[in-house]
Structures are given as C-alpha cells and as structure tokens.
C-alpha cells in the first residue's frame, strides 16, 4: 500500500570563516593541542564573526539546501529550526530566516533539544508532512555556541563550534516497503532528571541573563553510549533493520571517543561512520545536517543509501532516526 514519506531532496551547510585552532585555544586557557585531540578528536572549530547571528548561519545553509534540491523559497511551506542559541529570546530565529528568504507564506518556528535538536526537528517536520500539514519543509540546525561558552573554562570551551546545516524534505508517495526513500522510523527520548549534567546557567525566566554552558563531562560521557545504543536498538526492533543493513552511520559529532565507542558497540565498521568533529568541533544541533551535507556533497552518501542518525544532548534528550537518502 503506497504511503507518504518525507524524502530528502537536498542538503546544505555553512561554516563561519574564522577557524579557531587548538593551538590558539592553548594561548587562551591552560590546555594543549595534544590533550584536546586525544580526549575529543577535535583539531579546530569555527567561530561566528561579530554581528553574524544564528539566523545568518541558518540562512546560508537553507539557501545551499534549496540550491541542492533545485527549489526556491516559494516551494517551501514549513521551516523548523533546531537551535539552543537563537538570535533573541523571541521571536524565533526561524521567522528571521523565513523573512530573509523573502517568504510571506508558510509557517516557521524554532525547536529546542540542544544537541538532539536536529533529530527532534526532523521528526516534527516529518510528522507534519505525513499528516498533510506541509508539502515541502526546510529542516535546519544552526548554532552559535561560541556566544554561550565560558572562554575561561578549559573543560568546556575547547569542545564546541559554530555552524549550520539544513535539509529539504518533500512529501513523496512511496510503495510502503523497506526500500522506501525518506524518514523510515524516528525514536525520541528525554529525561529531565539529568538536567544538571549539561545546562546553561542563565535564562530569561531565571536570571534574566543569557548564561554560560556548564557540563559534567565525565558524567555525560558515562551515559552517552548506553542511552544512544538503547534508542538505536529500539529503531532496529521497530523496523527489522540491523546494523548490517546500515550504509552510513551519521552520529551527533560530540567527541570522537563517544562516536567510535557507539559504532563499536553496534558493530558498525569505522569506514561507514561519517566524522566531522575533527574540523567542526561539537556544533550541537548543526552537527548532523553538516555531516549529511559534507558526505552527500563528496559522493559518499548516495540516493538509496540507508542512514542511521543518532544524538544525545542537554536535558538529556536523545534519539535515533532511520532514513533512506
């Protein structure tokens, strides 16, 4: 029986021009290139310029995704932006992107699940597409974490970077088989009991300030692999796919050790893992769409490939999505 699925028509990305190397960081806080590379796999990250906002990064990525899909803003009726670093407390940065794209139609909103934001946005857009509420959606992850980092705290400031990625989803009729293209299965989780392990110590309703990112790095590490593996098992159980069916594993890019340990636990060979963390750092909600953009642009991810996406972020929030490109 045929079914409507959200099929990816194009991907785009954007990285700010300014590269911040580990060596530069070691002149700002007491750290070293060797420590950062060994513990995280990160060599460098990008930092947005003064006056360059999350909506600007998201706009570049959205335009690139539209170009890649051969579409224009007139074709889009939904924008979902995943971000934990919006330009303003309100309105949503998504409506700024909508305006900058010259759109007066459709609907745009932000969604916040920190590093899991892109998977939450993708799942939300997919549900709206399948419910007939949207035909073509831009799903964007864009972040300027450089603005919420404590640049004197070496345990956090070396980990994150700025960037944006986007995909265009289109409602397409598919046969309803395992070989269908599009979002095949999405599994999201959260548990607020972990909120103090990774959080920002400010906000409009609590301190009236923006605040800075705080993290119990070792604790986050301890939970990440297990929680993510559990939700991936859930996705496999729901669909009948196994790790052996996966063409590309596209994890959230937090840390090379978390990525590799998860791939090992699942039995996915390292050649099938898309890794950008060495050059981007952790770009939170932007990391998965940036990885999709990079690997589809260089020809690794091809039409018909089965992708496993996963993430864990502040909250905790976590999830896994099976998607056929």
- CB nearer ligand ACO, residue 140 or residue 159: 159
- CB nearer ligand ACO, residue 79 or residue 232: 232
Residue 157 falls in the annotated catalytic set: no
40 lines the binding site for ligand ACO (CB under 6 A)? yes
How far apart, in Å, are the Cα atoms of 163 and each of 54, 95, 313? Answer: 8, 18, 17
Residue 144 Cβ vs ligand ACO, minimum distance, rounded to whole Å = 16
Residue nearest to ligand ACO (CB): 217
What is the C-alpha to C-alpha distance for residues 83 and 162, in angstroms, rounded to an integer?
11
For residue 316, whether the previous peptide bond is cis, meaning omega lies within 30 degrees of 0, is: yes
313 lines the binding site for ligand ACO (CB under 6 A)? yes
Residue 22 falls in the annotated catalytic set: no
In 3D space, the residue among 94, 167, 92, 131 whose CA is nearest the CA of residue 325 turns out to be 167
Among 18, 71, 221, 261, binds ligand ACO (CB under 6 A): 221
217 lines the binding site for ligand ACO (CB under 6 A)? yes
- CB nearer ligand ACO, residue 121 or residue 137: 121
224 lines the binding site for ligand ACO (CB under 6 A)? yes
155 lines the binding site for ligand ACO (CB under 6 A)? yes
Of the listed pieces 28-36, 41-49, 60-68, 132-140, which binds ligand ACO according to CB under 6 A? Answer: 28-36
What is the C-alpha to C-alpha distance for residues 308 and 248, in angstroms, rounded to an integer?
6
Do the beta carbons of residue 70 and residue 64 sit within 8 Å? no
Phi, then psi, of 247 in degrees rounded to 5: -85, -40
Q: Within 10 Å of residue 18's Cβ, how many Cβ atoms?
A: 14
Q: What angle do CA 266, 269, 272 make, to 5 degrees?
A: 105
Catalytic residue among 212, 252, 255, 280: 252
3-state secondary structure of 140: strand
Question: Rounded to the nearest 10 degrees, what angle do helices 287-297 and 117-130 cross at?
Answer: 80
Catalytic residue among 22, 115, 212, 280: 115
Helix locations, 101-196, DSSP H: 117-130, 154-157
Binding residues for ligand ACO restricted to 76-135, rule: CB under 6 A: 115
Residue 121 Cβ vs ligand ACO, minimum distance, rounded to whole Å = 16
- CB nearer ligand ACO, residue 109 or residue 221: 221
Do the beta carbons of residue 313 and residue 116 sit within 8 Å? yes
Binding residues for ligand ACO restricted to 252-291, rule: CB under 6 A: 252, 254-255, 282
Active-site positions read 115, 252, 282
Q: Which residues in this chain contact ligand ACO in the complex, by CB under 6 A?
A: 31, 35-36, 39-40, 115, 154-155, 158-159, 198, 215, 217-218, 220-221, 224, 252, 254-255, 282, 312-313
């Amino acid at each position: 029986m045929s079914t409507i699925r959200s099929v990816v028509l194009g991907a785009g990305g954007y990285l700010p021009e300014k590269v911040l190397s580990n060596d530069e960081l070691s002149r700002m806080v007491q750290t070293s290139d060797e420590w950062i590379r060994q513990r995280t796999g990160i060599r460098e990250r990008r930092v947005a310029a003064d006056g360059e906002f999350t909506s600007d990064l998201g706009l570049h990525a959205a335009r690139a995704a539209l170009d890649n899909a051969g579409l224009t803003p007139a074709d889009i009726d939904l924008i979902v932006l995943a971000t934990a670093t919006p330009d303003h407390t309100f309105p949503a940065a998504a409506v700024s992107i909508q305006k900058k794209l010259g759109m007066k139609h459709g609907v745009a909103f932000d969604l916040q699940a920190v590093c899991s934001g892109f998977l939450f946005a993708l799942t939300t857009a997919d549900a709206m597409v399948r419910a007939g509420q949207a035909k073509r959606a831009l799903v964007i992850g864009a972040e300027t974490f450089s603005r919420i980092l404590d640049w004197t705290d070496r345990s956090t400031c070396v980990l994150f970077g700025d960037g944006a990625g986007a995909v265009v989803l289109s409602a397409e009729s598919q046969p309803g088989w395992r070989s269908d293209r599009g979002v095949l299965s999405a599994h999201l989780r959260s548990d607020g009991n972990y909120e103090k392990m990774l959080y920002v110590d400010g906000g409009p309703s609590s301190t009236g300030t923006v605040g800075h990112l705080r993290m119990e790095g070792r604790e986050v590490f301890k939970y990440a692999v297990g929680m993510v593996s559990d939700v991936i098992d859930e996705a496999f159980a729901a669909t009948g796919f196994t790790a052996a069916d996966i063409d590309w594993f596209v994890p959230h890019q937090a840390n090379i050790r978390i990525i590799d340990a998860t791939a090992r636990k699942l039995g996915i060979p390292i050649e099938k893992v898309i890794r950008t963390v060495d050059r981007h750092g952790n770009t939170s909600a932007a990391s998965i769409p940036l990885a999709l953009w990079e690997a589809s642009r260089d020809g690794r991810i091809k039409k018909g490939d089965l992708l496993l996406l996963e993430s864990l972020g502040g909250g905790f929030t976590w999830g896994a999505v099976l998607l056929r490109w």
